[in-house]
Structure 1
């Protein structure tokens, strides 16, 4: 392939350098098999390679152009400006430097792909050689509140970045129709779990737009939502090695159509979950305010057993602990090794209190080892004073939207879950086409009597998937082998 003239490749692009931002070309063999022999199939997105190298700080308006590949070398920090990423751009995280894209609270991002031309973040390793945790990930930091004094620190590659503020309705920008593959390595030496998601949303305000995002093959967690009020829709996390969704540090936004799929043979790390809801992640005070209290509807969480790839490290569908709480409705949880819903430590009292009361209604749970495995409490006894009802069983199978819950469905009533067989297909097989839809099913209908304000869409089905799929067409189910280079 002829070497591109860098000035021509930078038409319409102005990349300012405060630290070091280079527009050099990477070695051709660092990204992909240029002859196309390594990948079983290619997506519609195709770009010119080798990539343009990005490093250091972006401090003036910058556009990454369609048709190009870019490389994140170490920390690439967007500071006090807007980064625009056009549809069809491919951005690689460099494995050797733990590449990371970091958008600071004083900056914004406009990454708006399309259903036919998504934006792709992936590893810079060759097709067939990519692995979970090859690079750090994408970090979007905002100005909305969190429960760490509005100063949530995140360590990434030896540098500390802070998120938070008082602007609950602020915006980081747009992040739509985006794929993120093989990230989630974490922030390197001295970092902690705050940096260990492929996509970190730290204190994002409710005016931000985030929807149609695919996360796959994360080295740790898929998506970390830490503080803020951002609303999320149409998110699929698959093949993560730990938890698909982690909500903490005072997050109080709305989420609908979240999907966590663990249908892979990779060995997960210990204590993997579908979703974790915590008030804090580390050793901070569990009474920190504001409390973690999201509202969640139409989530599907599928453990590895669904596709015959179970692992004892994959534990609970939803794990609520460390004084976190949530309102969870119309969701489907299936095939985890231990529990559908596990309440631990300080959470039991949240089932009875009027403020931050744990709500769990109109949900369907299927195919756990025994009936009692649908729900569990750990490290704290359930009592009629601290809990609601005589036991967790009476609470989760009770009646009423107040203290006791209503409309929950269990495995005995679900002989046919109804998801298309392609959920367990050979994603890298020749001619494979995902069809994430719901057919004939025993799942009960959804119920939105709790949403009198009309803040959610009201589909007739439970879970993230209905008869018409929002996943088909724009996700890549086999990013391991995809060759993006033309």
Structure 2
């Protein structure tokens, strides 16, 4: 009997010790986080580098003030749960960048989107979100991202940089200099294993989203009131996309889409060749006299593309195709099927590399369609979690 009691006390003592140990360990980790590098997500001063082995989940009940660069390095994971708000105002010093091998999970819901914004509420208040993956590009085998100095590119087409869903990125686009400017979302060599769906890019000072090569696919993207292009690609991007809604605003922004292959060598491979189905691009009206060309789609320097069910509304020009390498893809590798023009002065123009005008009527076929889902109106899928529409 005494022996049994002794054993009972011994077991109890060990259990108590284990409980204390676990509690201390939980305090060190914080809500299940692991931070072998010592990184701490301080809501009042959110900045720093997550290193290999760091797995950090933010607290949706807190507001995080982005005071500098957050960099998610190879082997690290940053998770941003539904309803989290991150406020930045630090210009080019405030941005979130995911390096090759790092991952970000910014997954909101329609009722509780993740929001990246600024207190100033003005375009260019902060950098934006930058993902650098290992998927192919045509600039070189690998290259250095222009706004984060991180390496991108490679040969892993299915590379996975994480997931961004039901997320708003507002007032980004801080300017480094005349040659370097952040976008709302910059995707450098990002692979098809990455999920980009239900994302809004709102009121940035440059492009809404830009693809620098890679194989990443997207669905349900809203890009509105950004001061340059709403959608942009270059360096051999080959993603598959559905449901894009782009709208100019703030009396700025000259194009819905600006599409390139490679400006230095128009025939470099892999050649930009995205497919985009169900899209609406709305301009500021045919009489808009702001900076830049007033056109829905600029296709140039050798890009290919397959487009279907497009509504182009309120533009001086609908489609502009430039350079010999681009023109050569018409109609087999560059074609717009089911395009509807609404209040567009000139449907399409073409120009050779020498600047000579050419007919590009074989590059598209007209037909009424619903574009992103509701013609020129805001589609149902974009309601409730977006702003400015």
| Fold agreement, TM-score > 0.5 | yes
What pairs with 1:65-464 in structure 2 (closer than 5 Å)? Answer: 65-79=59-73, 80-96=75-91, 98-123=93-118, 125=119, 129-156=120-147, 160-186=149-175, 188-189=176-177, 192-193=179-180, 196-262=182-248, 264-268=249-253, 272-280=254-262, 284-305=264-285, 311=290, 313=292, 315-337=294-316, 339-346=317-324, 347-351=326-330, 357-369=333-345, 373-380=346-353, 391-393=359-361, 395-396=362-363, 405-406=364-365, 408-409=366-367, 444-445=368-369, 461-464=370-373
Cα gap change, 1:261 to 1:299, in 2 (>3 Å): same
Q: TM-score, normalised by structure 1?
A: 0.68
The CA distance in 1 between the partners of 2:237 and 2:77, in whole Å, is: 25
Residue deviations 1:300-330 (CA, integer Å, cap 9, x gap): 0000128x97746451101001111211111
Query: Number of aligned pairs?
Result: 358
8 A contact 1:13–1:64 mirrored in 2: no
- SS at structure 2 position matched to 1:336: strand
8 A contact 1:102–1:139 mirrored in 2: yes
8 A contact 1:331–1:464 mirrored in 2: no
- CA RMSD between the two structures: 2.8
Cα gap change, 1:10 to 1:260, in 2 (>3 Å): farther
The CA distance in 2 between the partners of 1:334 and 1:278, in whole Å, is: 22
8 A contact 2:82–2:112 mirrored in 1: yes
Q: Offset of 1:109 from its aligned partner? A: 1.3
Q: Offset of 1:103 from its aligned partner? A: 0.6
The CA distance in 2 between the partners of 1:382 and 1:309, in whole Å, is: 24
More strand by share: 2
Asked which structure has the greater RCO (Cα within 8 Å, sep 6+), the reply is 1
Cα gap change, 1:23 to 1:175, in 2 (>3 Å): closer
The CA distance in 1 between the partners of 2:335 and 2:92, in whole Å, is: 43
Q: Offset of 1:111 from its aligned partner? A: 1.2
- SS at structure 2 position matched to 1:375: strand
The CA distance in 1 between the partners of 2:29 and 2:245, in whole Å, is: 37
Unaligned runs of 5+ in 1: 1-6, 25-50, 397-404, 410-443, 446-460, 479-486
Give the corresponding residue for 1:46: none
Cα gap change, 1:16 to 1:309, in 2 (>3 Å): farther
Cα gap change, 1:131 to 1:9, in 2 (>3 Å): farther
Q: TM-score, normalised by structure 2?
A: 0.84
